[in-house]
Structure 1
Amino acid sequence: MSTVKVLIPQFLSHLIEQKQELEIEAGSMEELKTFFQQSYSEFGERIWTEEGTAKRNVLFVLNDELIKANNENTEFVSGDELGIILQFAGG
């Protein structure tokens, strides 16, 4: 199991005890998703659909590189940093 630092969007931090980052034991994107769905379900609902895929307005940035949102096979190593970004359209 790897320790991953997850950066939380500020406007969703109220769903995670006002934290803007969490250190989570997860070896893969699938394990990370399971953690959020079980530990912070309301946050998980904002990021993933009921089918378990990332919502279309969600981006993941792993160590400064954009990764595919629905690649459950993405593996983490200790020290990785994963940013969660929600896209919004303006007008």
Structure 2
Amino acid sequence: MSVKVVLPNAFQKHTNNVKEIETTAGTLPDLVTDLEGRFPALRQHLRGEDGQVRKFINFYVNEEDIRFLGNEKYQFQDGDEVLVIPSIAGGCC
């Protein structure tokens, strides 16, 4: 089984400019662990101090929010494409 993961530009400075990876992760927790293993500098951006995936990091599987597919229980399928998207907030008055 192979899953394609597309990383955002904001994370690429922590991945030596790697934009895409292939993984055999079966679930979201497996995927996050794989990403951290490959790119240790990402850990602080993916997980909070409590060890949980940060709430502002969104994962989309084949353009659908993983929260609507079962979140951590969703089993990736061969050929899935996962987009990792950090929420962006802020602005000016």
Asked if TM exceeds 0.5, the reply is yes
5+ long unaligned stretches in structure 1: none
Shift of 1:66: 0.9
Listed as ranges, the matches of 1:1-91 within 5 Å are: 2-68=1-67, 71-91=71-91
| Alpha-carbon distance, 1:39 to partner | 2.1
Superposed structure 1 runs of 4+ greater than 3 Å apart: none
Aligned in 2, Cα 1:51/1:74: closer, same or farther, shift over 3 Å?
Answer: farther
User: TM-score, structure 2 length as denominator?
Assistant: 0.82
Amino acid aligned to 2:30: E
Which structure carries more helix by proportion? Answer: 2
Instruction: Read off the aligned partner of 2:73 and give its amino acid letter.
Output: N
Please say which structure displays the higher CA radius of gyration.
2
Report if aligned partners of 1:8, 1:84 keep a CA contact under 8 Å in 2. yes
Greater Cα shift, 80-89 or 34-43: 34-43
For residue 18 of structure 1, report the CA deviation from its aligned partner.
0.6
Contact 1:37 1:45 in 2 (8 A): no
- For this pair of structures, how many residues does the alignment match? 90
TM-aligned CA deviation for residue 78 of structure 1: 1.1
- Normalising to structure 1: TM-score of the pair? 0.84
For residue 82 of structure 2, give the secondary structure of its aligned residue in structure 1.
strand
Deviates more, 1:27-36 or 1:42-51: 42-51
* Identity across the alignment (%): 29
CA distance in structure 1 between the aligned counterparts of 2:33 and 2:90, rounded to whole angstroms: 31
Residue 19 of structure 1: CA displacement? 1.1
Q: How far does residue 5 in structure 1 lie from its aligned partner after superposition?
A: 0.6
Three-state SS of the structure 2 residue aligned to 1:72 is: helix
